[in-house]
Amino acid sequence: MKEKILEKATDLFLNLGFKSVTMDDLANEMGISKKTIYAHFENKTRLVEESTMHLFFLISHGIDHISALKKNPIEELYEIKKFVMLHLKNEKSSPQYQLQKYYPKIYETLRDKQYEVMQDCVKDNVKRGIELGIYRENLNIDFVSRIYFSGAISIKDYRLFPVNTFPIAKLQDYFLEYHLRGIVTPKGRKILNSIINSNQE
């Protein structure tokens, strides 16, 4: 039952926001009593914490799986983006902003964990891209991985990038293209252009 509550809560939080969803909403949605929820989660903060970590580990595991396939590094980044967007339900409710505002400690913990995962993933991606001659040789890998993380966090700030001007899926595409155009070689640019063109068909 705990797993079911966690999955439904995560789904509601992503679609409606961490602040908006109450324990009553969750109980009604699942057709169970609040008492049943409290038997597994002592309060809403605990539920939010476990939901965010549940989603984080699910996505991290998926990213590890994609990385293990050792695809072309440019294709790999697009595969990861697609996978993450699928699990975040296109982030209709700016969950990252709500988490930061109403549950700052959970947000900080999550961000630290995201940083660790993304650093390893992006550094590996850049190293392989350089080896294959599709990323520039003179890149500072540590700088590229940090600036990528910084940008990935910043585009989730809807005050900077309001959803009505920058729909989430489009914004992710803009960001990924911006990142890649800065690091590809002419050989890499051909691969990038073909991926962008095939995504627009």
- Tell me what the mean pLDDT of segment 115-137 comes to: 95
Q: What is the pLDDT of residue 163?
A: 81
pLDDT band at 56 (very low <50, low <70, confident <90, very high): very high
Q: Of the ranges 43-52, 80-89, 93-102, 113-122, which one carries the lowest mean pLDDT score?
A: 93-102
**Whether 125 contacts 73, CB under 8 Å:** yes
Identify the sign of the CA torsion 155, 172, 78, 48.
positive
Distance, in Å, from the CA atom of 2 to the CA atom of 41, rounded to the nearest integer, reads 8
- Model confidence at 91: pLDDT above 60: no
Q: State residue 167's pLDDT score.
A: 86
Question: Domain boundaries in the chain?
Answer: 51-200
For residue 160, what are its two tokens?
A: 């900077």
Residue 201 has pLDDT above 60, yes or no: no
DSSP state of 135: B
Inter-axis angle of helices 186-200 and 73-87, nearest 10: 40
Which top CATH class is 51-200?
mainly alpha
Query: CA 137, CA 156: separation in Å to the nearest integer?
Result: 30
Phi and psi torsions of 41, nearest 5°: -135, 120
The pLDDT of 114-128, averaged and rounded, is 93
Q: Which pLDDT score, from 0 to 100, does residue 25 have? A: 95
